[in-house]
């Protein structure tokens, strides 16, 4: 996205406070507070016929996933809701918001509600505030030789989107993975003091891994066959094409991290998928050897 890239460069030029981390990270860090703000817009991040409760869920989940990646426990959210004159949609949205907040155990602290002009898409923003439980990992802490891990699974949400939009058939659990992602808060907090770098996988594993490597000033090697796919995804295919599709699909909200240490005391078993290397860029292999990079490494939201 030209627009986002240009704008981000301009915004980075004015975000000089150290807490902003140069706008290169998933969140801002102010003392022990971790703060993040993501927007979702109808026609960009969700479709007019998506269930409103799922839109609300996603709004909360994508922001809490950023807190998870920084090892922060959510302490509150503020919402900006730009709605249209559709009382049923709006009521369902608020019910979904309530359900998501209860499920993810975070209170609504405030915000603003605006009626959008006629014909305008719905537009939402959410600020999530978290409290760090220890070290607040950045994307930039990785070093050559660190192992690269994923906690959670990769590719379910991409398959779920394809199923939801009628491009293929598959089980409902994949659609749920797309519409109701679960931020890995507990895992993120347990990992925070054990990782050298961490981020959440929102735009696709390959593009996000490259971002982590670039931020750390190193390269990254990934074994395509080590990427954790769910059983439901594996039943739909496990060849190179299927794995590349999983590794370039967005919206998974898994955690991607690096560590030079053995991992311990975790609420699950992250999967080692590769390591950081000296040669810059992204290096992909499977049992057949070198895998050429796909032309798209991930999902870039189109305006």
Angle (nearest 5°) at CA 98 between 66 and 119: 85
Judged by CB under 8 A, does residue 280 bind its own copies? no
47 binds its own copies (CB under 8 A): no
**List 166, 262, 289, 303, residue binding its own copies (CB under 8 A):** 303
Question: Which region, judged by CB under 8 A, interacts with its own copies, from 72-80, 219-227, 235-243, 252-260?
Answer: 72-80
Could you say which DSSP state residue 226 is in? G
Q: Does the protein bind its own copies through residue 35 (CB under 8 A)?
A: yes
CA-CA distances (angstroms) from residue 157 to 2, 163, 178, 258, 284? 25, 10, 4, 23, 22
DSSP-based three-state secondary structure for 228: coil
Q: How are beta strands 289-290 and 72-83 bridged, if at all?
A: unpaired
Establish if 261 lies at the interface with its own copies (CB under 8 A): no
The span from the CA of 86 to the CA of 105, in Å, is 28
Report d(CA 39, CA 41) in Å as an integer: 7
153 touching its own copies, by CB under 8 A: no
Give DSSP secondary structure letters for 231-260: HHHHHT--SHHHHHHHHH-----EEEEEES
| Sole window of 20-28, 165-173, 205-213, 244-252 interacting with its own copies (rule: CB under 8 A) | 20-28
Q: What burial letters (b/e) apply to 180-209, b meaning 16+ CB within 10 Å? A: bbbbbbebbbbbbebbbbbbbbbbbbbbbb
Q: How many angstroms separate the CA atoms of 123 and 129, rounded?
A: 20
- Decide whether 109 or 266 has the Cβ nearer to its own copies: 109
Residue 248 in contact with its own copies, rule: CB under 8 A: no
Tokens for 3, please give them: 């627009």
List b or e across 78-98, with b for residues whose CB sees 16 or more CB atoms inside 10 angstroms: ebbbbbbeeeebbebbbebbe
Contact mark string toward its own copies, 179..208, x via CB under 8 A: ------------------------------
CB of 33 to its own copies, least distance (A): 8
Question: In the set 61, 64, 67, 129, which binds its own copies (CB under 8 A)?
Answer: 129
Site for its own copies (CB under 8 A): which residue of 50, 51, 90, 293? 90
Is 42 a binding residue for its own copies by CB under 8 A? The answer is: yes
Q: For its own copies, which is the closer residue by CB, 66 or 156? A: 66
101 makes contact with its own copies (CB under 8 A)? yes
Per rule CB under 8 A, is residue 125 in the interface with its own copies?
yes
- What is the 8-class DSSP label of residue 12? H
Q: Is residue 7 a contact residue for its own copies (CB under 8 A)? A: yes
The reply on whether position 110 binds its own copies by CB under 8 A is yes
User: Contact between 33 and its own copies (CB under 8 A)?
Assistant: yes
Residue 119 CB, nearest approach to its own copies (Å) = 8
Count of residues that interact with its own copies, criterion CB under 8 A: 71
Residue 91 interacts with its own copies (CB under 8 A)? yes
Which range in 73-81, 145-153, 168-176, 237-245 contacts its own copies by CB under 8 A?
73-81
The 3-class secondary structure across 149-188, one letter per residue, is EEECCCCHHHHHHHHHCCCCCCCHHHHHHHHCCCCCHHHH
41 vs 293, beta carbon nearer its own copies: 41
């Amino acid at each position: 996205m030209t627009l986002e890239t240009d704008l981000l460069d301009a915004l980075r030029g004015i975000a000089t406070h150290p807490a902003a981390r140069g706008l290169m990270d998933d969140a801002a860090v102010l003392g022990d507070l971790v703060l993040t703000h993501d927007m979702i817009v109808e026609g960009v991040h969700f479709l007019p016929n998506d269930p409103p409760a799922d839109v609300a869920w996603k709004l909360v989940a994508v922001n809490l996933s950023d807190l998870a990646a920084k090892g922060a426990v959510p302490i509150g959210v503020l919402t900006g809701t730009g709605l249209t004159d559709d009382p049923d949609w709006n009521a369902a949205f608020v019910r979904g918001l309530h359900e998501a907040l209860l499920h993810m155990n975070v209170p609504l602290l405030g915000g603003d509600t605006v009626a959008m002009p006629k014909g305008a898409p719905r537009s939402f923003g959410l600020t999530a505030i978290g409290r760090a439980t220890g070290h607040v990992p950045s994307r930039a802490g990785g070093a050559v030789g660190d192992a690269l891990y994923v906690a959670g699974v990769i590719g379910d949400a991409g398959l779920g989107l394809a199923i939801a939009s009628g491009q293929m058939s598959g089980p409902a659990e994949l659609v749920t993975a797309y519409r109701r992602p679960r931020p890995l808060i507990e895992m993120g907090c347990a990992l925070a003091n054990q990782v050298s770098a961490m981020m959440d996988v929102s735009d696709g594993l390959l593009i996000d891994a490259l971002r982590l490597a670039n931020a750390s000033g190193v390269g990254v090697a990934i074994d395509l066959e080590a990427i954790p796919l769910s059983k439901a995804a594996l039943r739909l295919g496990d060849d190179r094409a299927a794995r590349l599709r999983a590794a370039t699909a967005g919206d998974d909200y898994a955690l991607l991290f690096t560590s030079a240490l053995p991992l311990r005391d975790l609420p699950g078993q992250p999967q080692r998928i590769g390591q950081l290397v000296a040669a810059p860029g992204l290096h992909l292999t499977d049992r057949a050897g070198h895998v050429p990079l796909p032309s798209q490494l991930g999902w870039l939201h189109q305006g």
